[in-house]
Amino acid sequence: MGDPAGLLWSGYGLDTDSLLRDAERQAETFVDTADSRDARVRMLHRALPFESGVFGRPFRRLLCAVAWGEAAHAGQLLADSVQGLLENSPGITWLTSLPAGDLPARQMLLQLGFRHAARKLSMIYTAETEKRNTPRVRNPVRDFAPTDLPELLALSHHFAPGQFAGLPGIGSERIQEYYAEWIRRAAAGEFADRVLVLESGGSPAGFASYKLRPEVLRLTGRRVLGQSLGAVHPRASGGLLALVEEMQRRRQAEGYELIEFECYAQNRPVVRTLDRLGFVPGPERECFWWSA
């Protein structure tokens, strides 16, 4: 298919053709354009029903926008195509992300009116990266029970806006509602395969959920424990260490090859804790939104 002049996608270190094929599997809508100088663009996007339902307005994700051809012509066609997509979707809020080092794509998005929201880090753990001198902690961690749900929902106000930062009409209360609904669905088994609960003083004081990453299994055959969400109450000192150590213990027992944690770059305490436990930096992504 040729070398793409631009790629807006959050990938897993795979080649462009593999990423494009996977984005095509996820997409609901394909938009193909071409010009007289043999430049071509393909855009793929899909609805975000969870975000749309929680925030009460339509959200879509631009999965991929790829251009082929001579760089200058293809780049202009790419920008024109994305602008046309925005102009023809009144009332829709768009989310997308791109590799942190892709400065031309970043510049294009900003020129089209996208706002930068956050930088997201992937932290990767394998048995080979384990730091065996890590001090062990003693906070008890167990599997979720239905009676834990009220305490876990109370942790929803500990989350930062992340990819929604600065989005008009999405204040702190709406962010709390978003994460509370996410926790409910994780506890119900929809958004997570397992939820671990941290105890402090005999009651829940934190949690971490995780799920097999199906797209990585589909593309690479590797079983990755990911799609994690977690929070720890400040009273539970060392709670994150305890939760992550339990995930590390279960990784091999449950047949996972890797653990991938995604966190926002500004959350330095989480990044330091993961580094202490042997996680190494993986791909970084820049998150953007557009709203008329």
CA distance 172 to 288: 18
Which of 78, 113, 148 is the last residue in one of the domains? 113
Residue type, 57: R
- Nearest in space to 12 (alpha carbons), one of 224, 193, 194: 224
- The strand pairing partners of 30, in sequence order, are 44
Which of 113, 130, 162 is the last residue in one of the domains? 113
**Those residues with Cβ within 8 angstroms of residue 234's Cβ, 6 or more apart along the chain or in another chain:** none
In this structure, are 132 and 107 located in the same domain? no
pTM (two decimals): 0.85
CATH number of residue 263's parent domain: 3.40.630.30
In this structure, are 29 and 87 located in the same domain? yes
In this structure, are 109 and 138 located in the same domain? no
Per-residue pLDDT of the chain (292 residues; tens, 9 = 90+): 223 333 333 344 445 566 666 666 666 666 677 665 678 888 889 999 999 999 999 999 998 888 888 877 788 888 999 999 999 999 999 999 988 888 888 999 999 999 999 999 888 887 666 655 555 557 899 999 999 999 999 999 888 889 999 999 998 999 999 999 999 999 999 999 999 999 998 899 999 998 887 777 777 777 888 878 889 998 888 888 899 888 888 887 888 888 888 889 888 888 888 888 888 888 888 999 999 8
In this structure, are 172 and 39 located in the same domain? no
